[in-house]
Amino acid sequence: MEAASLPAALELTAGGGAGLSAEKRAVLGTSLLLLQRDYRFERVWFWGRIQGVRGAYYIAEGLGPDRAAPRSRLYSLNCMEWSLLPPATKEMVAQAEQLKGRFQGDPSFEYKYSEVDAEDAERPIEDGKEPMIKEEARLVATIEQIDRAVGIIPRGAFVKTPLGPVHENRNFEGLSLTEAKKLSSYFHFTEPVNLKNKTLLEKADLDPSTDFLDSLEHDIPQGSWTVQLEKGGTVVVLRSLLWLGLTFYHIPMTKQYGYVYFGTGEKNLDLPFML
């Protein structure tokens, strides 16, 4: 969610019971603006907080001119001092998917392969040293996984130019209340997968400038999203049951929307059995 509108946005997503103290909100409001200035980002989003056993990671994302380009990710342990995270790699994500249990809250903490799946533990150990995975790498991979799976935007909020870059749509004035209650009105803000498999006939009714992403209506498993009206029916709130703690809000007929994550960084693997 936008750093500039952070206090109001956090109020709108507080229905799930998670949030930040008044002190943390005040500190973040200042430090995120300094972060934007120091790194020369066009926009800074407060991504959320991953709670560990001994501490918490506060996450921010910096955006450049092309909103669909890979985002710069930073973390802080105190909401004031920020450290830039390395880009996520396929290897990082694959390793993180094998790890179970809570984060520790210490970026230098190292997971041994004995804490990973048994299949990985059977791999030959080179040079007699047991491979280690730092928690910082797990943090990078987990943020990437959550962004890919449940990082969402309303339909029409961004437009794709003929040359490829994606920009904010200045003409976007929000979804109507009727449209805002439909999962098909929200898109995954990541590289599309299902869209590429659509036939030409299915693509005929799509606007290539706005319908260039995958919508939520075909997410697997079905039922992994809840849609609710809150604040007297003035705010539409979507919550993910796959990554518990991810909350998206949109005020219909306005440009106000965003998502935030407050959780432990663990995927809800029991979801198929709960539906």
Q: How many C-beta atoms lie closer than 10 Å to residue 200's C-beta? A: 6
- pLDDT for 44 beyond 60: yes
Spatial separation of the C-alpha atoms in residues 202 and 237, rounded to whole Å? 29
**Residue 121: pLDDT band with limits 50, 70, 90:** very low
Q: How many C-beta atoms lie closer than 10 Å to residue 163's C-beta? A: 5
Asked which of 73-82, 147-156, 160-169 is least confident by mean pLDDT, the reply is 160-169
pLDDT of residue 188: 92
pLDDT of residue 183: 94
Spatial separation of the C-alpha atoms in residues 155 and 186, rounded to whole Å? 5
Helices (H), the chain: 6-12, 22-39, 90-98, 118-121, 135-150, 177-180, 200-203, 271-274
Q: What pTM was computed for the model?
A: 0.87
- pLDDT for 175 beyond 90: yes
- pLDDT for 122 beyond 70: no
Q: Hey, which residues does 260 pair with through a beta bridge?
A: 247
Asked which of 137-151, 167-181, 210-224, 248-262 is least confident by mean pLDDT, the reply is 210-224
**Residue 204: pLDDT band with limits 50, 70, 90:** low
Q: What is the mean pLDDT of residues 109-132?
A: 60
**Residue 116: pLDDT band with limits 50, 70, 90:** low
Q: Is the dihedral of CA 106, 148, 188, 149 positive or negative?
A: negative
Share of the chain above pLDDT 90, in %: 52
Segment (H or E) for 264 = none
Is residue 235 within 8 Å of residue 229, measured between CB atoms?
A: yes
Round the average pLDDT of the chain to a whole number and report it.
Answer: 86
**Residue 259: pLDDT band with limits 50, 70, 90:** very high
What residues contact 2, with CB distance under 8 A and at least 6 apart? 9, 43, 44, 45, 46, 258
How many residues does the structure list for the chain? 275
Spatial separation of the C-alpha atoms in residues 35 and 7, rounded to whole Å? 17
Instruction: Give 11: exposed, middle or buried? Use CB within 10 Å, 0-12, 13-18, 19+.
Output: middle
The residue extents of the domains of the chain are: 3-86+143-268
